[in-house]
Amino acid sequence: MTTYPPRKLALITGGADFIATNVADRLLRDGWRVRLFDNLSRDGVTRNITWLQSQHGRVDPTRVEVTFGDVRDRDAVRRAVEGTSRVFHFAAQVAVTTSLVDPISDFEVNAGGTLNLLEALRRMKQPPSLLFTSTNKVYGHLDALPLRTRNQRYEPEETEIAQAGISERQALDFHSPYGCSKGAADQYVLDYARTFGLPAAVFRMSCIYGPHQFGTEDQGWVAHFVIQTLKQAALTLYGDGRQVRDVLFVEDLVDAMLRAHDQIDRVSGQAFNIGGGSANTTSLLELIDLIGDVCGRRPQYRLEAWRQADQRYYVSDTCKFHRATGWSPHVSLAEGLERLMTWFEASELSRPRVFASGRVAS
């Protein structure tokens, strides 16, 4: 039987989701082994595992290890961290809307699951480096931020924020059960770095998009817009469509995550706002126009009432992470959309039947 030399092992919780798939692909190409820990509760994610195994597991099946488990299970988490050198903690309940329906489950997964992981790491003799993905929702609704309307978007009246975005100096103001649960996890990670010396950092994420994303209107909205366009189905915009976000192509995010682990001594115990920054912003209405330019077909949409905790403006100021590591995003929104569109068109996602068993609201 053929034997292979040992490789470093990375654990990815929520390991079947879209960001995890892109991280795993990069790690595997760089010679790592990956352990994907996931309860497979989201529609479409088993395809990501199948794709990773087909790309990287044919010669050496041990390189892609799939562990079915839930972060609420302490014993499963304790077993999952064994032998690892790096941990990417993505497992989460990801939608504000879901947290409003079931706040207890939201807390148990996001806050309780993260605490289970931290405790498992704390008990290790040589804890691996940890990167936790938090959210811009820890800053709340930002309703005290003075805004004005310009054409199809909101923009800040304060010049500094208009030019650079929201920095980590912004006061925390957890809003919605989701904001509270992710915010609690965010603070636990930072405190375990401070109190117990765990090598851990936090990314407060803006909107990420890219290949392997099965977006819905609740989460992954850029991909959702593209999917609906390819299906020739109408979109629902909540509010007036002028709300602004910065968007980051997943390839740039993976670069940032690997830099964080590579430079964990420099970034440990800190939180960083991560997104496309001021150079990669869009309102919902502007994105619809851009998709029309890229796709040759402008999405149809209808407006509904504002949803709770929906920020009218959020753009990440990424200067702190840039100063710490030298990272900056390189993929523009136009280029990223074209690459996402190409990936969708090459996959079965352009066929409506794919979503027969899953919810992709129109």
SS (H, E, C) 84-105: CCEEEECCCCCCHHHHHHCHHH
Residue 6: the pLDDT is 58
Count of all residues that appear for the chain in the document:
362
Give the Cβ contact number of residue 122 at 10 Å.
Answer: 13
Tell me what the mean pLDDT of segment 212-238 comes to.
88
Which residues are paired to 246 by β-bridges?
A: 281
178 is catalytic: yes
| CATH topology classification for 92-353 | Rossmann fold (3.40.50)
Question: Which one of the listed residues 154, 178, 188, 314 is annotated catalytic?
Answer: 178
C-alpha torsion sign, points 321, 325, 187, 80:
positive
- Confidence label for 15 from pLDDT (cuts 50, 70 and 90): very high
The predicted structure's pLDDT at residue 7:
72
Q: What is the mean pLDDT of residues 102-130?
A: 97
- For residue 153, what are the β-bridge partners? 150
Task: Estimate the share of the chain in helix, then strand, then coil, as percent rounded to the nearest 5.
Answer: 45, 20, 35
What separation, in Å, do the N-terminal and C-terminal C-alpha atoms of the chain show? Answer: 52
Question: Which residue reads 């912004």 in tokens?
Answer: 170
Q: Is the pLDDT of residue 346 over 60?
A: yes
**For residues 315 and 281, is the Cβ–Cβ distance under 8 A?**
yes
User: Stretch 318-328: mean pLDDT, rounded?
Assistant: 98
Q: Decide which of 356 and 88 is more confident.
A: 88
**Residue 350 reports pLDDT greater than 70:** no
∠ CA 67-69-72 to the nearest 5 degrees?
150
Q: Can you tell me the distance from the alpha carbon of 283 to that of 315, in angstroms, rounded to the nearest whole number?
A: 11
